[in-house]
Amino acid sequence: MTEHSEPQQNGQPTPRNASPSGQSLPGAPAPEEPQLTEPPQPRSPLPPAADQAAPAMRSATGNPTQAEPSSRAQRSTHLTTAQGARLATTDHSLRAGERGPVLLQDHHLREKITHFDHERIPERVVHARGAAAHGVFRANGAATSICRAAVFQDGKETDVFVRFSTVLGSRGSADAVRDTRGFAVKFYTDEGTWDLVGNNIPVFFIQDAIKFPDIVHAGKPHPDREIPQAQSAHDTFWDFVTLHTEATAHTMWNMSDRGIPRSYRMMEGFGVHTFRMSNHDGETTLVKFHWKPRLGVHSMVWEEAQITNGMDPDFHRRDLADAIESGAYPQWDLGVQVFPDTEDQMFEGIDLLDPTKIVPEELAPVQIIGTMTLNANPTNYFAETEQVAFHPGHLAPGIDVTADPLLQGRLFSYLDTQISRLGGPNFAQLPINRPHAPVNDMLRDGMHQTAVHTGVAPYKPNSLDGGCPFFAGAQDGALIDVPVEIQGKATRQKPASFEDHFSQARLFYRSLAPVEQEHTANAYAFELAKCYEPVIRQRGVNVLSNVDQELAESVAAKLGLPAPEPQQLEPVATSPALSQVGREWPLDGRQIAVLTCGESDASAVAELVEQIFDAGMVPLVVAPTGEPLGDGDGSVAVARTYFTARSIEFDAAVVVDLPAEPEPAVAVMFGELHRQGKAIAVLDSALDSAVAVGLDQEYEGTAQLSGTTEALSVLRSALSRHRVWAR
């Protein structure tokens, strides 16, 4: 290995070779391989990595500029103060003599420390831990008959920025926790920014936003001890949701496998609420938004999640970034369920304004209206992922809100939160939040104002600024408030349809495959067992008897509690679309362990590695040490050692060779792969040694190979179904 890599002629750095053909593994922290010692000669800062992008170059008022996005980055070859004065050192404070006190006149010290003291902004109360990416949305024209928004015109491409997040944990919490995930998409449309701010679960805990503080306070760590972190397995959460039973449907989703996604790339997204669309003729339609991952919907099993949070608490954000860096760009189809805009706003007996309800896809099919591709990682986490500000009231012409009481409260809460979190009302001028449509809002001054406004008349009407800005008509793409008839008395009551708290939880649970139902029962038992108060555990079991008696009895038995009395339950239909089991999906970005030893045939391993790369997956060669297999141009990079590898990283494994001296980690890995339902292909030559350290030949996911060329064809079926479900 050389001390450093020279850039190629096209300006891109030489890849870190993982195979003889030059395929490279994701994860290199810099675009060039570093030198062994600190470089002595001044040079310009390195460019961003090839997989990274930055917010578009727009002025604070939304106008395009001719500058490159990277021009916002620091370009000086020398270290300077914030005002551009070059510095000779940043290692020593200015002192009164070599051993004397530090002098107050040391401006560099004070500037550096002051800025450091204020690097952090208040983290989000919820959705604090997030990961994000840039991308593009391409419409297919299918929505133009119901919505006049230009973003849906056939072939129209719109830049997007997407942030995924967990709800309960702080910024420093782990990724693979049982929690709801945020799925927020910022569309930089030509007609203004549209934010579709949803979750990976289509129903919510509460029906009215006035209960937001209650559910968050209940779910967050206990205020006396600040524990547990990023978990719902504690007394205050279960005390609330077993008393406030409108949370039952969401809790059921969260206790299912949906509560721990395998990857953001394999996670559905939902707009949760019902929105109103209007077309060019003024006709209105009600819709619910769905994001359908092209890779299918897939989750971790409980053991995987526990190991992941210890071995790699950043698993989900790393998985997303690595996939994009590798060119396995995640994609989601955006779809809508379409409903007539009737006076009662009901559909097949389901209240469309109740955010704790779904409409089964069998009753209202999801119609695909476009596809989103995430194709670039952020250049700077703070500037983009942390400072991005979403708001469900950011709408495009033709998309409007409904009277869903949860959505109505969010329209106030999000704006109020962004002002507090980002230090003032001008958060839309931060580069990641700047619209890609021209802005002339007549809003002035305030903290962090970066626009330099001209004119003297920021008011309407005016003549001193020539009457500018002018009002837009419908023909100019104006936002139009759709007239909606409103009648009735001011009241704090809710509709009778909101009183049904259990039928949708029953629909969801009975739609799951038996293995998913087993996982759900285990999750309830684990979470309730973590509650200190016996009465809360019993209450949780009692609530489940309103959903499914067998589920209630199973959880009660695991907790050592008496089973509740059976309830008279109305029959419900099932919705096959709610189960994650039974379909097949593409294999893009799947990670395959290739187990080897120091004496393995490097050429055979290299051939297998190339096949996995060519299939759009990522091979991770595991060996006793990090020394490459083979010599010279035909050598193969080792991605993991047996000491550092763990089953959670892999979707399947190919056993080429094993070390002559048994590695305890191999036995652990085989046991975990068996329990997690992952496919294992083993060469005949390695079978005996694999069995000797724990490989189960009777396991449904074990396949024998005569050579490495058979590996992919053997693994493909199990990988496309996500797991060996027959276990």
**Structural domains of the chain sorted by starting position, each given as residue range(s) with its CATH number in brackets:** 130-209+258-433 (2.40.180.10), 506-578 (1.20.1370.20), 591-720 (3.40.50.880)
Are 429 and 451 contacting, i.e. CB atoms less than 8 angstroms apart? Answer: yes
Instruction: Indicate the burial class of 136 (C-beta count within 10 angstroms; 0-12, 13-18, 19 or more).
Output: middle
CA torsion 681-684-688-689 (nearest 10°) is: -60
End-to-end CA distance of the chain: 44
- So what's the pLDDT on residue 76? 79
For the stretch 663-677, what's the b/e string if a residue is b when 16 or more beta carbons lie within 10 angstroms of its beta carbon?
A: bebbebbbebbbebb
Spatial distance between the Cα atoms of 628 and 622, rounded to a whole number of angstroms: 10
Q: Model confidence at 16, in pLDDT bands (50, 70, 90)?
A: low
pLDDT tops 70 at residue 549: yes
Q: Whole-model pTM?
A: 0.91
- The pLDDT of residue 727 is 56
Of these residues, 127, 250, 436, 501, which one is catalytic? 127
Residue type, 357: K
* 410 appears as a binding residue in the annotation: yes
Q: How far apart, in whole angstroms, are the C-alpha atoms of residue 74 and residue 557?
A: 62
- pLDDT band for 73, please (50, 70, 90 cuts): confident
Least confident of 146-160, 402-416, 466-480: 466-480
Is 264 labelled a binding residue? no
User: How far, in Å, CA of 156 to CA of 146, rounded?
Assistant: 16
- HSE (side-chain half, CA atoms, 13 Å) at 179: 28
Mean pLDDT of 348-356: 96
Please confirm, yes or no, whether 199 is among the known catalytic residues: yes
pLDDT tens digits for range 610-659: 999 999 999 999 999 999 999 888 899 999 999 999 999 999 999 999 99
Most confident of 32-36, 111-115, 218-222, 476-480: 218-222
For the segment 436-458, the average pLDDT, to the nearest whole number, is 90
Looking at the chain, the number of H-run helices and the number of E-run strands are 15, 19
Q: What is the mean pLDDT of residues 233-250?
A: 96
DSSP E strands: which ranges in 97-224?
130-139, 157-166, 181-189, 192-199
Q: Which of 199, 254, 309, 426 is catalytic?
A: 199
Q: Which residue has the higher pLDDT, 239 or 38?
A: 239
Q: Is 421 annotated as a binding residue?
A: yes
For the question of residue 298 being annotated catalytic, the response is no
Note the pLDDT tens digit of each residue in 326-348: 999 999 999 999 999 999 999 99
Name the pLDDT band for 79 (thresholds 50, 70, 90).
confident
Those residues with Cβ within 8 angstroms of residue 50's Cβ, 6 or more apart along the chain or in another chain: 12, 13, 31, 325
Q: Is pLDDT above 90 for 89? A: no
Q: Judge whether residue 9 has pLDDT over 70.
A: no
Average pLDDT taken over every residue of the chain: 91
Q: Is 382 annotated as a binding residue?
A: no
How does DSSP assign 15-82, residue by residue? P-BSSTT--B-S--SSSSPPPSS---S--PPPPPPTTEE----B-TTS-B-SS-GGGGS---SS-B-T
- Cβ neighbors of 402 (< 8 A, separation 6 or more) are 273, 274, 275, 276, 286, 345, 352, 353
- Rounded to an integer, the average pLDDT of 157-180 is 97
pLDDT exceeds 90 at position 709: no
163 is in an annotated binding site: yes
Quick one: 88 exposed, middle or buried, by C-beta within 10 A (0-12, 13-18, 19+)?
A: exposed
Question: Do 267 and 198 touch, CB atoms closer than 8 A?
Answer: no
8 A C-beta contact, residue 181 and residue 200: yes
Q: Mean pLDDT throughout 182-209?
A: 96
Alpha-helix residue ranges (DSSP H) falling in 196-234: 212-219
pLDDT single digits (tens) 99-115: 888 888 888 888 888 88
219 confidence band (pLDDT: 50, 70, 90)? very high
Answer yes or no: is pLDDT of 318 > 60.
Answer: yes
Q: Is 414 annotated as a binding residue?
A: yes
- Whether pLDDT at 541 is above 80: yes
| pLDDT (0 to 100) of residue 679 | 94
Q: What angle do CA 301, 206, 366 make, to 5 degrees?
A: 65
Please report the pLDDT score of residue 473 as a whole number: 84
